[in-house]
Amino acid sequence: MRSTPENQRALLDIADLDRRIQQAERARTQPEQGARINELAGVRQVQLRELTALAGTLEDARTELSRLESDVKLAEQRRDRDAERLAAATDSKQAQALENEIASLGRRLSALEDSELEVMGRVEEAESAVNAQQALIDQTNAEGAKLTADAKAAMAAAAAEGEQLTRDRAALASGIAADLLAEYERRASRGIGVGLLRRGVCEGCRMVLSGTDLTQIRRAAPDDVVSCPECGAILVRTDESGL
């Protein structure tokens, strides 16, 4: 294949644009924030499970406290009713029975109130644990929201950059011989499409060419399309090639 040296050199710019287009596409589809966003999603699931467990503990403590408060209220009502009956009692046996029941109710109330205080402490601890866990979730959500917003902005910018680079490539490609461009794209689809030969080194694969290979390349005409014997890329020759 033959093509003007200018067309061959233009392939280097095409290759650079292709590289940048690929980078923009990766940035559009795989934002750098993605890994942390996914990690936070997993962290949030664990935190929510913990919150559910803590909320269950709190609900159980509140239910127990409500029961104790109801028991205290009933015992107080019964004690007060017995006290009224005792005040109006005329029979000594009845009075003695009421006094015994009032004393028993007093002991029960004391035990209930002690339990009530203990459970109130558990309710406070459970509320504190729920609030602390919710604060952690809020922090996780805030970080996730910020990263998501940053990722969307980065993806939009990468999409816009990719579109501009694609337009630039189309404009540059329109000035390159169709057969040469097709050959570059064929090779690029399999590996390295083009490489600059600089001081005996193919910059496509970074391999140093042998003296024999350089001699053969030196003998080629300027418009001959030559290939790197190592990677198969189109070799672009310039004054820096060391030929």
pLDDT, position 90: 79
Per-residue 3-state assignment (H helix, E strand, C coil) for the chain: CECCHHHHHHHHHHHHHHHHHHHHHHHHHCCCCHHHHHHHHHHHHHHHHHHHHHHHHHHHHHHHHHHHHHHHHHHHHHHHHHHHHHHHCCCHHHHHHHHHHHHHHHHHHHHHHHHHHHHHHHHHHHHHHHHHHHHHHHHHHHHHHHHHHHHHHHHHHHHHHHHHHHHHHHHHHCCCCHHHHHHHHHHHHHCCCEEEEECCEECCCCEECCHHHHHHHHHCCCCECEECCCCCCEEEECCCCCC
Per-residue pLDDT of the chain (243 residues; tens, 9 = 90+): 899 999 999 999 999 999 999 999 999 999 999 999 999 999 999 999 999 999 999 999 999 999 999 999 999 999 999 898 888 887 888 889 989 999 999 999 999 999 999 999 999 999 999 999 999 999 999 999 999 999 999 999 999 999 999 999 999 999 999 999 999 999 999 999 999 999 999 999 999 999 999 999 999 999 999 999 999 999 999 998 887
Domain regions of the chain by residue span = 5-26+174-237, 28-162
Q: What is the pLDDT of residues 102-160, one digit of tens each?
A: 999 999 999 999 999 999 999 999 999 999 999 999 999 999 999 999 999 999 999 99
Average confidence score pLDDT of the chain:
95
pLDDT, position 93: 87
> CATH assignment of 28-162, given 1.10.260, 1.10.10, 1.10.287, 2.60.40?
1.10.287
